Structure 1
Amino acid sequence: MSNLERYNNIFKDIFQVKEIDLNKDFQFQTVEKWDSITHMSLITILEDSFDIFFETEDILNYGSYENGIEILKKYGVSFDE
Structure 2
Amino acid sequence: MSNLERYNTIFQDTFNVGIDSLNDDFNSETISDWDSVTQLTLVTAIEDEFDIMLDSEDILDFKSYVVGKQILAKYEVEL
Q: Aligned partner of 1:46: which letter? A: I
RMSD: 0.5
Q: Aligned partner of 1:41: which letter? A: T
Q: Are residue 53 (structure 1) and residue 48 (structure 2) matched? A: no
Residue ranges of structure 2 left out of the alignment (5+ in a row): none
Distance in 2 separating the partners of 1:35 and 1:61: 13
SS of match in other structure, 2:25: coil
Distance in 2 separating the partners of 1:71 and 1:44: 14
Aligned sequence identity (%): 52
Distance in 2 separating the partners of 1:38 and 1:61: 14
Residue ranges of structure 1 left out of the alignment (5+ in a row): none
Distance in 2 separating the partners of 1:75 and 1:11: 18
Which residue does the alignment assign to 2:36? 36
Normalised by the size of structure 2, how large is the TM-score?
0.98
Which residue does the alignment assign to 2:15? 15
Aligned length, in residue pairs: 79
Distance in 1 separating the partners of 2:37 and 2:14: 11
- Runs of 4+ in structure 1 off by over 4 angstroms are none
Deviation of residue 27 (structure 1)? 0.4
